[in-house]
Amino acid sequence: MSFKDVLMPFTAWKNLFIEPVTIKKPDQIQGASRYRGFHKNEVDVCIGCGTCEEICQNAAIDMMPVEGIETKDGDSGLRPMIDYGRCCWCALCVDICTTNSLTLSNSFKWNSTDPDDFRFIPGVDEKYWNNDKLGYVKADGYDLNPVERVEMGELHPEERDRSFVEMVTGYSREQAQKEADRCVECGICTATCPAHMGIPAYIKAVREDDMEEGLRILYETNPLPEICGRICTHKCETVCAINHKGDPLSIRWLKRYIADQVPSDKYKEILGTDKIEGNGKKVAIIGAGPAGLSAAHYLALMGYSVKIYETLKGPGGMVRYGIPEYRMPYDQIDKDIDYILSLGVEVQYNTKVGEDIQLEELGKDYDAVFSATGLHLGRSTGIEGSDHDKVYQSIELLRKVTLEEEIDVAEKIVVIGGGNVAMDITRTLARLQNKKYGKVNVLTTCLESEEAMPADEEEVIEAREEKAVIDPGWGPQKIEIEDGKIKGLHVNKCLAIFDEEGRFNPKFDNDNKKFFEADMIVESIGQGMDISYTEKIKDQLEFGARGRIIVDKKSFQSKLPWLFVGGDIIEGPDVIHGIANGHKAAVGIDTYLKDK
Amino acid sequence: MLKFENDRSKYPEKNADGTNIIDLESGKFLKIWQGPIHPGMTGNMSLELIIQGDEIMECKTHVGYLHRGFEKLMERRRFIQCFPICVRIAVPEPDFNEYCLAATIEELAGIEVPDAAEWMRTLLLEMARLQSYLAWIGGQAGAFGMGIIGQWTIWARDLVLDRFEEISGGRIYHMHMPPGGVRSLLPYGFEGRMKDTLDKVSQIMVDVERVMFNNSVFKKRSVGLGYIDPLWVEEYGITGPNARGAGIPKDVRKDYPYLKYGELDFEVSLGTDSDAFTRADVRRRDILTTIDLIRQIVERVPKNGEFMAEVPNVLHWKIPKGETYIRSECTRGEYGYYTVTDGSGYPRRINVRGPSYTHAIALMERMAINLNISDTAGVMSSLHTYPPEVER
């Protein structure tokens, strides 16, 4: 200790001449630009997936119904309510938010004498920080769950462009588990799926590598997993929560993965369907398509004796006769259907109801009838020249391909239509041309612009990879015929498809014209139904828009109590709706026959 | 005339086995409790003291006033959900918990952290060290009646917390090191503001050195107080400045370099006298080292690039069976997490090794003997213990 030690402390007196550092008005301080303050939520962007609730370790978040927000496809209708008695502002809810709608503001002052005030729904309840520009948001490059899809292996365009071998190769176990890992288990997919499949549950089974459990979950709601795992229109993926910030889960491919892993001879053992006790009642089903097979499956499990009447010589309906083999291989269709038939379901092929057998007879012979005859008629554009015999319907051609009938494939083909069926026929014809001529010359055109085309994006990309030309946005005007031979198709630029009232009424730019050369034209602009078999009982049924039979939406029962109608002729064209209809109709028939 | 007995070694009288004969009924002894309200900056723990006059004869430490059961809570949380709660284990210095937890999870899950994230973590840990030391000086000075030092350093600490707020959005619980990396890189213009802050802190440290370390009152009270025998270091598991004050160069940053410490240039500060003054001086020099380290890190931390490794979906992240121990050097010594996983989505066991546990419970009981009761707060502060970390 020295004299210095006595004097040194007095240097503290210099602070007398320094400005005070105390902040005079602390209530005016704002948090830093990344401050983790009070919650904000863009309610219109939020889909109520509940992932924030799931990750919150303090259980500070509850999903609540909110006035003015309706439950719909892709939106649970719920919004997060936050309890500031429990919240610790860790912002994991912001990081995991699938839509990036939940953020934090940089406000942190909130006084209230009522403890219940501190429970609020961000974005819905009026709060002064709702318009704060600053605050914590998830940084780019920081993700707590992978947002990129595991790529599905596909055959190279050159390997597939002249063959009908299945082009998608399927996931390996590692790939499937990695993809299944991305699921946040929100269940928005389940709500949207027409069949309400237990999607998060079977994805969990993939993660846990429990294929038997996965198969059981699939068969609870869908007896055609191999088919749906390949060609389902996957509305589930469209609404998938992850779709908002990355690629949606490959729900369809994961379903296919489960079904592919289990050999067909194990199905009965796994699903516990070795012995089914009959209940002595009989149900007839018209049409062995997805809806009919689905109804047959569930009815057979309930003990009904089921017989299907099918016009064509094989089962599967549009799945077999409308979808090309490179997308839906026949052996996989057979795997699903053989299992259903093994439950005791009978099928009588080559029998057309209305011609070979009458519907009223079925009504008398059976306790109930389920009709799912599908949309097997093509629609014509009706333009000049469309009655030429080289103008085909896509449905008709696709059926011929499956039946292995001869098709006179021309060298230059134009396809009219922008849906998935148009892509199917385009790619089928491209393959056939490639086989016959060694080159492809198919052009597909449609009214819709590239963005508005109803076909799946990947279908369009793959068709182009196979060297088909897709030129959307043109309206067909006239088929040029010279000396009885088709020369080509005149088209005008399409400006709008619907008029101001939303009706189909395309507008064309008559100055912007094109001519597509062709020897053969295929129309693929929609499908129609043939329900002439109902002719004799017509007055006992009710018909709605576009001649569709009106049925009860829950049981699919028509005005005639013994007649149930479903599938594409009610809610089509779509395989998963058909399966869902079949299931509901089976339950409806069961309820009806139990009460009887 | 009162007559004072200068030879105090015969009090209290001893049994044959060397234990004290303490008869509270005799009127010669008094039992008092210090705490569990904060004695200085040391948090909620209490000392059960038996005193004779103003001299402590026996001391029993009591903890349990802050037990929140975090280790158990974490066994019921998914791995990512442990991340926001582990910070609360050591309130004034949460970042070491974040780092240790993240590092154990990363090691067990086999995740490689991007380079930028390692730099960011090093920066955050050094900033945490700086702000924690600045708070400690206030406590140490306050325990000897020098309130003004605390006012200066708490202001300086707030400047550091401002920088934390800029990076992470939080002042105390930064929660910026999730398993896999960090949540973001430095904000725009951070380097300049950090430099400004460090300049201000350095200036405060000059004042602190003058007013506290060159202060006859502080010296009079702290020199020779709270002696830690170098032999106790192994016996009690003493680490950090408490060991370094006794001349034993224990520093995890040097002994087992983690993150980017192997690439940084710094010396471990050592003392010889092992008393409260020496330990305070070791910490003061540590602050200067930390300021220098932060300057080095800010220059080298990447401004862009990847800062988060790809992690599986954290909502159902399962980590393979395994166990590991990760240590880091916090302001009080070796801070470690021992994590055991069993292949499920939850940790099987997480054990937190906080240096305060050894320092505050066993060591304090030994050091308190023959201490003047007015010095206990100063000795506790000089051990730099945090009860929240003892209790967990």
Tell me the C-alpha distance between A551 and A565, whole Å. Answer: 7
Give chain A positions within 8 Å (CB) of B219: 1, 5
Number of domains in chain B: 1
Tell me the C-alpha distance between B53 and B67, whole Å. Answer: 33
Task: Measure A80 CA to nearest chain B CA, in Å.
Answer: 18
CB pair distance less than 8 Å for A55 and B207: no
- Nearest CA-CA partner of B179 in B93, B84, B91, B302: B84
Do A104 and A122 form a contact (C-beta atoms < 8 A)?
A: no
Cβ-Cβ contacts under 8 Å between A and B: the total is 121
Under 8 Å CB-to-CB from A35, ≥6 apart: which residues? A104, A105, A106, A108, A134, A135, A136, B165, B169, B170
**pLDDT, average across residues A359-370:** 89
Residue B181 contacts A where some CB pair is shorter than 8 Å:
yes
Helix A394-402 to helix A420-437 angle (10° resolution) is 60
Do A340 and A229 form a contact (C-beta atoms < 8 A)?
A: no
Strand order in the sheet with A469-470: A391-393, A520-523, A413-416, A442-445, A469-470
Both ends of chain A: CA-CA distance in Å?
108
Dihedral in degrees, nearest 10, Cα atoms B138, B143, B147, B151? 10
Whichever domain contains B98, its CATH number is: 1.10.645.10
The whole-number pLDDT of residue B125 equals: 93
The whole-number pLDDT of residue B362 equals: 85
CB pair distance less than 8 Å for A1 and B220: yes
> For B87, phi and psi rounded to 5 degrees?
-60, -25
| Average pLDDT by stretches of 10, chain B with 392 residues | 64 78 81 74 78 86 86 91 89 90 93 92 93 90 86 91 92 91 91 93 90 88 88 90 90 90 90 91 93 92 89 90 92 92 91 87 85 86 85 80
Do A491 and A474 form a contact (C-beta atoms < 8 A)?
A: yes
Tell me the C-alpha distance between A69 and A42, whole Å. Answer: 12
Residue B84 contacts A where some CB pair is shorter than 8 Å:
yes
Both ends of chain B: CA-CA distance in Å?
54
Tell me the C-alpha distance between A213 and A118, whole Å. Answer: 43
Please list the residues that pair with B358 across neighbouring strands.
Answer: none
> For A258, phi and psi rounded to 5 degrees?
-60, -50
The whole-number pLDDT of residue A273 equals: 84
Q: What pLDDT, in 10s, does the model give residues A387-399?
A: 888 888 888 888 8
Task: Measure A236 CA to nearest chain B CA, in Å.
Answer: 20
Under 8 Å CB-to-CB from A376, ≥6 apart: which residues? A318, A321, A395, A399, A527, A529, A530
- Average pLDDT over chain A reads 88
Most confident stretch, A52-61, A403-412, B36-45, B368-377: A52-61
Place of tokens 């004042």: B207
Tell me the C-alpha distance between A96 and A115, whole Å. Answer: 28
Point out the residue among B78, B80, B215 whose CB comes nearest to the CB of A8: B215
The whole-number pLDDT of residue B42 equals: 60
For residue A290, give both structure tokens: 């997805």
- Inside any domain, residue B183: yes
pLDDT at A94 over 70: yes
User: Which of A142, A174, A177, A204 best probes binding to B when mutated, by most B CB atoms within 10 angstroms?
Assistant: A142
Partner A, chain B 200-239, Cβ-Cβ below 8 Å: 207, 210-211, 214-217, 219-220
CB pair distance less than 8 Å for A141 and B187: no
- Inside any domain, residue B114: yes
Do B266 and B290 form a contact (C-beta atoms < 8 A)?
A: no
Please list the residues that pair with A286 across neighbouring strands.
Answer: A309, A371
- Inside any domain, residue B67: no
**pLDDT, average across residues A365-392:** 86
The whole-number pLDDT of residue A18 equals: 85
Residue A4 contacts B where some CB pair is shorter than 8 Å:
yes
Tell me the C-alpha distance between B257 and B102, whole Å. Answer: 17
- Inside any domain, residue B378: yes
Point out the residue among A1, A33, A135 whose CB comes nearest to the CB of B216: A1
Point out the residue among A89, A141, A207 whose CB comes nearest to the CB of B306: A141
For residue A169, give both structure tokens: 């190769």
B98: containing domain: 78-391
- Nearest CA-CA partner of A97 in A128, A137, A66, A62: A137
For residue A332, give both structure tokens: 């996989």
Under 8 Å CB-to-CB from B385, ≥6 apart: which residues? B42, B43, B45, B332, B356, B359, B360, B364
Angle made by CA atoms B314, A137, A129, in degrees to the nearest 5: 130
* Length of chain B in terms of residues written: 392
Look at A371 and A274; give whichever has higher pLDDT. A371
Tell me the C-alpha distance between A1 and B214, whole Å. Answer: 8
Do B203 and A11 form a contact (C-beta atoms < 8 A)?
A: no
Tell me the C-alpha distance between A96 and B179, whole Å. Answer: 14
Which of the four pLDDT bands, split at 50, 70 and 90, describes residue A502? Answer: confident
Among all residues of chain A, which has the CA nearest to that of B313?
A145
Do A315 and A227 form a contact (C-beta atoms < 8 A)?
A: no
Q: Which domains does chain A have, with CATH numbers?
A: 30-131 (3.30.70.3270), 161-269 (1.10.1060.10), 278-376+541-595 (3.50.50.60), 377-527 (3.50.50.60)
**pLDDT, average across residues A557-577:** 87
Q: What 3-state DSSP class applies to A557?
A: strand
The whole-number pLDDT of residue B243 equals: 92
A356-360, long-range: CB within 8 Å, 24+ apart, which pairs?
Answer: A357/A309, A358/A533, A358/A536, A359/A286, A359/A533, A359/A534, A359/A536, A359/A537, A359/A563, A360/A536, A360/A537
- Going by their DSSP bridges, the two strands A102-104 and A39-41 should be labelled as antiparallel
Give A435-469 as a DSSP string: HHHSS--EEEE-SS-TTT-SS-HHHHHHHHHTT-E
The sign of the torsion formed by the CA atoms of B382, B386, B391, B392 equals negative
Tell me the C-alpha distance between A231 and A243, whole Å. Answer: 20
Secondary structure of chain B: what % helix, strand, coil (to 5)?
Answer: 50, 15, 40
CB pair distance less than 8 Å for B178 and A144: yes
3-state secondary structure A232-284: CCCHHHHHCHHHHCCCCCCHHHHHHHHHHHCCHHHHHHHHCCCCCCCCCCEEE
Task: Measure B135 CA to nearest chain A CA, in Å.
Answer: 17
CB pair distance less than 8 Å for B183 and A95: yes
- Inside any domain, residue B118: yes
- Inside any domain, residue B258: yes
Whole-prediction pTM: 0.84
Under 8 Å CB-to-CB from A507, ≥6 apart: which residues? A494, A495, A496, A499
Tell me the C-alpha distance between A555 and A565, whole Å. Answer: 9
Which of the four pLDDT bands, split at 50, 70 and 90, describes residue A22? Answer: confident
**pLDDT, average across residues A145-154:** 87
Place of tokens 């004799």: A536
- Other CB atoms within a 10 A radius of the CB of residue A17 amount to 6
- Inside any domain, residue B48: no
b/e A408-437 (16+ beta carbons within 10 angstroms → b): ebbebbbbbbbbbbbbbbbbbbbbbbbeee
Tell me the C-alpha distance between A38 and A127, whole Å. Answer: 10
Among all residues of chain A, which has the CA nearest to that of B176?
A90
CB pair distance less than 8 Å for A8 and B211: yes
Tell me the C-alpha distance between B325 and B122, whole Å. Answer: 19
Give chain B positions within 8 Å (CB) of A146: 310, 312-313
- Inside any domain, residue B26: no
CB pair distance less than 8 Å for B312 and A90: no
Among all residues of chain A, which has the CA nearest to that of B214?
A5
- The half-sphere exposure of B109 on its side-chain side, counting CA atoms within 13 A, is 26
Residue B81 contacts A where some CB pair is shorter than 8 Å:
yes
